[in-house]
Protein backbone atom coordinates (compact mmCIF):
# COMPACT_ATOMS: atom_id res chain seq x y z
CA UNK A 1 0.00 0.00 0.00
CA UNK A 2 1.70 3.24 -1.08
CA UNK A 3 0.68 6.77 -1.81
CA UNK A 4 0.63 7.79 -5.45
CA UNK A 5 0.81 11.11 -7.28
CA UNK A 6 -2.45 11.97 -9.04
CA UNK A 7 -2.67 13.66 -12.41
CA UNK A 8 -2.91 17.17 -10.94
CA UNK A 9 -0.21 16.79 -8.30
CA UNK A 10 -2.39 15.65 -5.42
CA UNK A 11 -1.10 12.75 -3.34
CA UNK A 12 -3.49 9.78 -3.34
CA UNK A 13 -3.40 7.48 -0.34
CA UNK A 14 -5.35 4.23 -0.63
CA UNK A 15 -7.24 2.86 2.37
CA UNK A 16 -7.44 -0.83 1.56
CA UNK A 17 -10.55 -2.36 3.06
CA UNK A 18 -11.76 -4.77 0.38
CA UNK A 19 -15.09 -3.64 -1.05
CA UNK A 20 -15.04 -0.65 1.34
CA UNK A 21 -11.68 0.63 -0.01
CA UNK A 22 -11.33 4.31 -0.82
CA UNK A 23 -8.74 6.97 -1.54
CA UNK A 24 -7.66 10.01 0.44
CA UNK A 25 -6.48 12.84 -1.79
CA UNK A 26 -4.10 15.31 -0.18
CA UNK A 27 -2.93 18.59 -1.67
CA UNK A 28 -3.60 22.28 -2.16
CA UNK A 29 -7.00 22.94 -3.72
CA UNK A 30 -8.24 19.32 -3.77
CA UNK A 31 -11.65 20.48 -2.51
CA UNK A 32 -12.22 21.78 -6.03
CA UNK A 33 -11.97 18.17 -7.29
CA UNK A 34 -15.01 17.01 -5.29
CA UNK A 35 -17.09 16.19 -8.38
CA UNK A 36 -14.41 13.66 -9.41
CA UNK A 37 -14.83 11.61 -6.24
CA UNK A 38 -18.59 11.77 -5.70
CA UNK A 39 -19.80 8.35 -6.90
CA UNK A 40 -21.09 8.61 -10.49
CA UNK A 41 -24.60 7.30 -9.81
CA UNK A 42 -25.32 9.89 -7.11
CA UNK A 43 -27.99 12.36 -8.23
CA UNK A 44 -28.21 14.63 -5.18
CA UNK A 45 -25.86 15.58 -2.39
CA UNK A 46 -26.57 16.93 1.10
CA UNK A 47 -23.57 19.10 1.99
CA UNK A 48 -23.21 19.18 5.79
CA UNK A 49 -20.96 21.88 7.18
CA UNK A 50 -20.49 24.36 10.02
CA UNK A 51 -20.95 28.12 10.03
CA UNK A 52 -17.22 28.66 10.73
CA UNK A 53 -16.33 26.76 7.55
CA UNK A 54 -18.75 28.77 5.44
CA UNK A 55 -17.55 32.00 7.14
CA UNK A 56 -13.95 31.12 6.17
CA UNK A 57 -15.15 31.11 2.55
CA UNK A 58 -14.69 27.36 2.14
CA UNK A 59 -17.30 26.13 -0.31
CA UNK A 60 -17.55 22.99 -2.44
CA UNK A 61 -19.29 21.94 -5.63
CA UNK A 62 -20.17 18.24 -5.82
CA UNK A 63 -21.09 18.62 -9.49
CA UNK A 64 -24.71 17.47 -8.98
CA UNK A 65 -27.81 19.02 -7.44
CA UNK A 66 -27.04 19.81 -3.82
CA UNK A 67 -28.27 21.62 -0.75
CA UNK A 68 -26.14 22.96 2.11
CA UNK A 69 -27.06 22.13 5.72
CA UNK A 70 -25.20 24.31 8.23
CA UNK A 71 -24.85 23.12 11.81
CA UNK A 72 -23.64 25.06 14.86
CA UNK A 73 -19.90 25.44 15.38
CA UNK A 74 -17.78 23.23 17.60
CA UNK A 75 -17.70 19.77 19.13
CA UNK A 76 -20.96 20.33 21.04
CA UNK A 77 -22.83 19.82 17.75
CA UNK A 78 -22.12 16.07 18.05
CA UNK A 79 -25.47 15.11 19.60
CA UNK A 80 -28.20 12.63 18.78
CA UNK A 81 -30.52 15.63 18.51
CA UNK A 82 -28.36 17.06 15.70
CA UNK A 83 -28.46 13.69 13.90
CA UNK A 84 -32.26 13.63 14.11
CA UNK A 85 -32.45 17.21 12.89
CA UNK A 86 -30.18 16.51 9.91
CA UNK A 87 -32.01 13.30 8.97
CA UNK A 88 -35.36 15.08 9.13
CA UNK A 89 -34.02 17.84 6.90
CA UNK A 90 -32.64 15.24 4.47
CA UNK A 91 -36.07 13.56 4.36
CA UNK A 92 -37.91 16.87 3.89
CA UNK A 93 -35.59 17.66 0.97
CA UNK A 94 -36.19 14.18 -0.46
CA UNK A 95 -32.68 12.71 -0.18
CA UNK A 96 -32.89 9.04 -1.24
CA UNK A 97 -30.81 5.99 -0.40
CA UNK A 98 -29.00 6.34 -3.74
CA UNK A 99 -27.86 9.88 -2.89
CA UNK A 100 -24.95 10.99 -0.73
CA UNK A 101 -23.80 13.23 2.09
CA UNK A 102 -20.68 15.37 1.74
CA UNK A 103 -19.38 16.53 5.14
CA UNK A 104 -17.13 19.61 4.93
CA UNK A 105 -15.24 20.65 8.03
CA UNK A 106 -13.20 19.37 10.94
CA UNK A 107 -13.63 16.21 12.97
CA UNK A 108 -16.91 17.28 14.59
CA UNK A 109 -18.54 17.72 11.17
CA UNK A 110 -17.16 14.53 9.65
CA UNK A 111 -18.12 12.52 12.78
CA UNK A 112 -21.65 13.98 12.79
CA UNK A 113 -22.18 13.98 9.01
CA UNK A 114 -20.66 10.51 8.74
CA UNK A 115 -22.96 9.14 11.43
CA UNK A 116 -26.03 10.79 9.89
CA UNK A 117 -25.04 9.13 6.58
CA UNK A 118 -24.52 5.80 8.37
CA UNK A 119 -28.07 5.75 9.77
CA UNK A 120 -30.14 7.67 7.20
CA UNK A 121 -32.02 5.05 5.13
CA UNK A 122 -29.85 2.52 7.05
CA UNK A 123 -26.75 3.94 5.40
CA UNK A 124 -26.03 6.16 2.39
CA UNK A 125 -22.70 7.08 0.88
CA UNK A 126 -20.59 9.85 2.36
CA UNK A 127 -17.56 11.84 1.21
CA UNK A 128 -15.46 13.92 3.60
CA UNK A 129 -13.80 17.22 2.74
CA UNK A 130 -11.56 17.71 5.75
CA UNK A 131 -10.59 21.30 6.53
CA UNK A 132 -8.50 21.04 9.73
CA UNK A 133 -5.11 19.47 10.30
CA UNK A 134 -6.51 17.32 13.11
CA UNK A 135 -9.35 16.17 10.87
CA UNK A 136 -7.07 15.42 7.95
CA UNK A 137 -4.62 13.22 9.81
CA UNK A 138 -7.07 11.63 12.21
CA UNK A 139 -10.86 12.04 12.22
CA UNK A 140 -11.57 11.86 8.48
CA UNK A 141 -9.84 8.52 7.95
CA UNK A 142 -10.84 5.22 9.49
CA UNK A 143 -14.61 4.97 9.37
CA UNK A 144 -15.46 5.63 13.01
CA UNK A 145 -18.39 8.05 13.08
CA UNK A 146 -20.53 9.09 16.00
CA UNK A 147 -21.81 11.57 18.52
CA UNK A 148 -21.39 12.29 22.22
CA UNK A 149 -23.74 11.67 25.15
CA UNK A 150 -23.69 13.64 28.42
CA UNK A 151 -22.17 10.43 29.85
CA UNK A 152 -19.17 10.41 27.50
CA UNK A 153 -17.62 11.23 24.13
CA UNK A 154 -18.39 9.14 21.05
CA UNK A 155 -20.61 6.74 23.00
CA UNK A 156 -23.05 6.36 20.10
CA UNK A 157 -21.73 5.70 16.63
CA UNK A 158 -21.07 3.36 13.75
CA UNK A 159 -18.23 2.13 11.61
CA UNK A 160 -19.09 3.69 8.26
CA UNK A 161 -16.34 4.14 5.72
CA UNK A 162 -16.47 7.16 3.40
CA UNK A 163 -16.43 6.74 -0.38
CA UNK A 164 -13.52 9.23 -0.57
CA UNK A 165 -11.74 11.84 1.53
CA UNK A 166 -10.30 15.14 0.32
CA UNK A 167 -7.67 16.80 2.54
CA UNK A 168 -7.21 20.29 1.15
CA UNK A 169 -3.94 21.67 2.47
CA UNK A 170 -4.71 25.16 1.07
CA UNK A 171 -7.55 25.71 3.56
CA UNK A 172 -5.16 25.12 6.47
CA UNK A 173 -3.81 28.62 5.77
CA UNK A 174 -7.11 30.00 7.14
CA UNK A 175 -6.99 27.83 10.27
CA UNK A 176 -6.64 29.66 13.61
CA UNK A 177 -3.19 28.94 15.09
CA UNK A 178 -4.64 27.14 18.14
CA UNK A 179 -6.51 24.76 15.80
CA UNK A 180 -3.27 24.12 13.94
CA UNK A 181 -1.48 23.33 17.22
CA UNK A 182 -4.13 20.78 18.01
CA UNK A 183 -3.34 18.96 14.79
CA UNK A 184 0.41 19.20 15.35
CA UNK A 185 0.09 17.15 18.56
CA UNK A 186 -1.43 14.28 16.57
CA UNK A 187 1.23 14.76 13.91
CA UNK A 188 3.96 14.44 16.56
CA UNK A 189 2.40 11.09 17.56
CA UNK A 190 2.91 9.64 14.08
CA UNK A 191 6.69 10.20 14.34
CA UNK A 192 6.73 7.31 16.85
CA UNK A 193 4.28 4.96 15.13
CA UNK A 194 5.98 4.55 11.76
CA UNK A 195 7.08 8.07 11.09
CA UNK A 196 10.82 7.82 10.48
CA UNK A 197 11.64 10.50 7.91
CA UNK A 198 8.57 12.66 8.62
CA UNK A 199 10.93 15.48 9.63
CA UNK A 200 12.25 15.85 6.11
CA UNK A 201 8.83 16.27 4.44
CA UNK A 202 6.93 19.46 3.53
CA UNK A 203 3.40 19.91 4.92
CA UNK A 204 1.27 18.20 2.20
CA UNK A 205 3.70 15.24 2.01
CA UNK A 206 3.84 15.03 5.81
CA UNK A 207 0.03 15.03 6.05
CA UNK A 208 -0.12 12.35 3.35
CA UNK A 209 2.42 10.21 5.21
CA UNK A 210 0.40 10.53 8.45
CA UNK A 211 -2.74 9.53 6.53
CA UNK A 212 -0.84 6.60 5.07
CA UNK A 213 0.24 5.42 8.54
CA UNK A 214 -3.34 5.74 9.76
CA UNK A 215 -4.68 3.98 6.65
CA UNK A 216 -2.29 1.05 7.15
CA UNK A 217 -3.29 0.78 10.80
CA UNK A 218 -7.00 0.89 9.99
CA UNK A 219 -6.60 -1.63 7.15
CA UNK A 220 -4.99 -4.03 9.64
CA UNK A 221 -7.76 -3.57 12.22
CA UNK A 222 -10.88 -1.94 10.77
CA UNK A 223 -13.11 -2.69 13.79
CA UNK A 224 -10.57 -1.73 16.46
CA UNK A 225 -9.91 -5.20 17.84
CA UNK A 226 -6.27 -4.51 18.69
CA UNK A 227 -3.71 -2.89 16.37
CA UNK A 228 -5.62 0.40 16.14
CA UNK A 229 -4.75 1.04 19.79
CA UNK A 230 -1.32 2.34 18.67
CA UNK A 231 -3.18 5.40 17.39
CA UNK A 232 -3.97 6.07 21.04
CA UNK A 233 -0.27 6.66 21.79
CA UNK A 234 0.03 9.66 24.14
CA UNK A 235 -3.73 9.78 24.65
CA UNK A 236 -4.19 8.19 28.08
CA UNK A 237 -2.75 11.21 29.89
CA UNK A 238 -4.33 13.53 27.30
CA UNK A 239 -7.82 12.10 27.96
CA UNK A 240 -7.30 12.34 31.73
CA UNK A 241 -6.20 16.00 31.42
CA UNK A 242 -9.19 16.72 29.17
CA UNK A 243 -11.55 15.03 31.65
CA UNK A 244 -10.30 17.63 34.15
CA UNK A 245 -11.13 20.51 31.84
CA UNK A 246 -7.87 20.43 29.91
CA UNK A 247 -5.96 22.92 32.13
CA UNK A 248 -6.00 25.32 29.20
CA UNK A 249 -4.53 22.76 26.77
CA UNK A 250 -6.11 21.95 23.42
CA UNK A 251 -6.35 18.30 22.42
CA UNK A 252 -3.07 18.20 20.50
CA UNK A 253 -1.22 19.99 23.28
CA UNK A 254 -2.53 17.47 25.80
CA UNK A 255 -1.38 14.66 23.46
CA UNK A 256 2.04 16.33 23.24
CA UNK A 257 2.46 16.19 27.04
CA UNK A 258 1.09 12.64 26.92
CA UNK A 259 3.80 11.61 24.46
CA UNK A 260 6.57 12.91 26.73
CA UNK A 261 4.94 11.19 29.71
CA UNK A 262 4.63 7.89 27.83
CA UNK A 263 8.31 8.13 26.88
CA UNK A 264 9.32 8.73 30.50
CA UNK A 265 7.21 5.77 31.60
CA UNK A 266 8.73 3.54 28.92
CA UNK A 267 12.22 4.58 30.09
CA UNK A 268 11.41 3.92 33.74
CA UNK A 269 10.10 0.45 32.87
CA UNK A 270 13.29 -0.33 30.91
CA UNK A 271 11.64 -0.36 27.49
CA UNK A 272 13.52 2.53 25.88
CA UNK A 273 16.81 4.32 26.54
CA UNK A 274 17.37 7.96 27.47
CA UNK A 275 18.18 8.81 23.84
CA UNK A 276 14.70 7.75 22.76
CA UNK A 277 13.13 9.90 25.51
CA UNK A 278 15.18 12.83 24.19
CA UNK A 279 13.87 12.02 20.70
CA UNK A 280 10.30 12.44 22.02
CA UNK A 281 11.22 15.81 23.54
CA UNK A 282 12.93 16.89 20.32
CA UNK A 283 9.93 16.02 18.14
CA UNK A 284 7.33 17.53 20.48
CA UNK A 285 9.48 20.62 21.11
CA UNK A 286 10.11 20.90 17.36
CA UNK A 287 6.37 21.49 16.90
CA UNK A 288 6.57 24.11 19.67
CA UNK A 289 4.20 22.05 21.81
CA UNK A 290 4.29 21.74 25.61
CA UNK A 291 6.65 19.21 27.19
CA UNK A 292 5.50 19.53 30.80
CA UNK A 293 2.46 18.79 32.92
CA UNK A 294 0.46 21.98 33.42
CA UNK A 295 0.89 23.72 36.78
CA UNK A 296 -1.94 22.76 39.07
CA UNK A 297 -2.60 19.35 37.51
CA UNK A 298 -3.63 16.97 40.30
CA UNK A 299 -1.45 13.84 39.97
CA UNK A 300 -3.66 11.65 42.21
CA UNK A 301 -6.79 12.60 40.30
CA UNK A 302 -5.06 11.92 36.97
CA UNK A 303 -3.86 8.48 38.10
CA UNK A 304 -7.36 7.51 39.20
CA UNK A 305 -8.68 8.60 35.79
CA UNK A 306 -6.10 6.40 33.97
CA UNK A 307 -7.85 3.25 35.15
CA UNK A 308 -11.11 4.51 33.65
CA UNK A 309 -9.61 5.19 30.21
CA UNK A 310 -11.71 3.37 27.65
CA UNK A 311 -8.62 1.62 26.25
CA UNK A 312 -7.76 0.14 29.69
CA UNK A 313 -8.19 -3.64 29.50
CA UNK A 314 -6.36 -4.98 32.57
CA UNK A 315 -5.91 -2.46 35.36
CA UNK A 316 -3.93 0.57 34.26
CA UNK A 317 -2.81 0.12 30.65
CA UNK A 318 -0.62 2.44 28.64
CA UNK A 319 0.53 2.31 25.07
CA UNK A 320 4.32 2.44 25.47
CA UNK A 321 7.22 2.55 23.07
CA UNK A 322 9.71 -0.32 23.24
CA UNK A 323 12.08 -2.56 21.26
CA UNK A 324 9.16 -3.84 19.15
CA UNK A 325 7.45 -0.51 18.76
CA UNK A 326 4.39 0.79 20.57
CA UNK A 327 2.52 -1.87 22.51
CA UNK A 328 -0.04 -2.02 25.32
CA UNK A 329 1.61 -2.44 28.72
CA UNK A 330 -0.66 -3.58 31.53
CA UNK A 331 -0.55 -3.38 35.28
CA UNK A 332 1.58 -0.25 35.74
CA UNK A 333 1.88 0.60 39.45
CA UNK A 334 0.01 3.75 40.55
CA UNK A 335 3.13 4.89 42.48
CA UNK A 336 5.23 4.78 39.29
CA UNK A 337 2.55 6.66 37.36
CA UNK A 338 2.38 9.34 40.06
CA UNK A 339 6.15 9.70 40.41
CA UNK A 340 6.56 9.99 36.63
CA UNK A 341 3.88 12.70 36.51
CA UNK A 342 5.85 14.66 39.10
CA UNK A 343 9.01 14.18 37.03
CA UNK A 344 7.47 16.00 34.05
CA UNK A 345 5.78 18.74 36.04
Question: 170, 224, 227, 311: which one is catalytic?
Answer: 224
Is 16 annotated in the active site? no
* Known catalytic residue at 33: no
76: annotated active-site residue: no
- Helix, strand, coil percentages (3-state) for the chain, rounded to 5, are 50, 20, 35
The total number of residues shown for the chain amounts to 345
27 versus 142: smaller Cβ distance to ligand GLY? 142
146, 144, 91, 154: which is closest to 120 by C-alpha?
Answer: 91
Residues whose CB is less than 8 angstroms from the CB of residue 217 and which lie 6 or more positions away in sequence, other chains included: 193, 227, 228, 230, 231
Is 232 annotated as catalytic?
A: yes
Spatial separation of the C-alpha atoms in residues 179 and 257, rounded to whole Å: 17
Task: List Cβ<8 Å contacts ≥24 apart for 316-319.
Answer: 317/236, 318/236, 318/262, 318/265, 319/229, 319/230, 319/232, 319/233, 319/234, 319/235, 319/236, 319/262
Under the binding rule (CB under 6 A), the answer on residue 113 touching ligand GLY is no
Q: Which is nearer to ligand GLY, 143 or 195 (CB)?
A: 143
| Smallest gap from residue 222 Cβ to ligand GLY (A) | 9
Q: Distance between CA 63 and CA 65 in Å, rounded? A: 7
Q: Please, what is the minimum distance in Å from the beta carbon of residue 181 to ligand GLY?
A: 20
Q: Kindly state the smallest distance separating residue 140's Cβ from ligand GLY, in Å.
A: 7
Q: Min. distance of Cβ 130 from ligand GLY in angstroms?
A: 10
Strands 4-5 and 11-15 come out as: antiparallel
Active site residue 244: no
What would you report as the CA-atom Rg of the chain, rounded to the nearest whole angstrom?
A: 20
Nearer to ligand GLY, 141 or 344 (CB): 141
- 280 in active site: no
- Least distance (Å) from ligand GLY to the CB of residue 148? 14
Neighbours of 23 (CB within 10 A): 21
Chain residues 225-244 in contact with ligand GLY, contact rule CB under 6 A: none
Which residue(s) pair with 327 in the sheet?
320
Tell me whether residue 214 is one of the annotated catalytic residues: yes
Asked about 122 being catalytic, the answer comes back as: yes
Site string for ligand GLY, 136-175 (x = CB under 6 A): ---x--xxx-------------------------------
Closest residue to ligand GLY, judged by C-beta, is 142
Q: Out of 33, 144, 250, 267, which one is annotated catalytic? A: 144
Q: Between residue 255 and residue 314, which ones bind ligand GLY under the rule CB under 6 A?
A: none
The residues assigned a catalytic role are 122, 144, 186, 214, 224, 228, 232, 235, 239, 251
Residues in touch with ligand GLY (CB under 6 A): 139, 142-144
Amino acid sequence: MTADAGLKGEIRVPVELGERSYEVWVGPGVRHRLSEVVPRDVARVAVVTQAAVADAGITVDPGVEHKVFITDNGEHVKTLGAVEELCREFAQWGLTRRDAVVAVGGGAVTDLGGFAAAVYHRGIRVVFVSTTLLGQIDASVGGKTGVNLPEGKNLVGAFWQPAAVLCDTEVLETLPSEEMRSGLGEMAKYHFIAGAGLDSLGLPERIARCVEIKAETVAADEREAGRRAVLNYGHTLAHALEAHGGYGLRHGEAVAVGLVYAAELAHRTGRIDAGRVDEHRRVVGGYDLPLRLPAGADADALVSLFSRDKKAVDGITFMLDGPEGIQPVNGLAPALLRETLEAIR
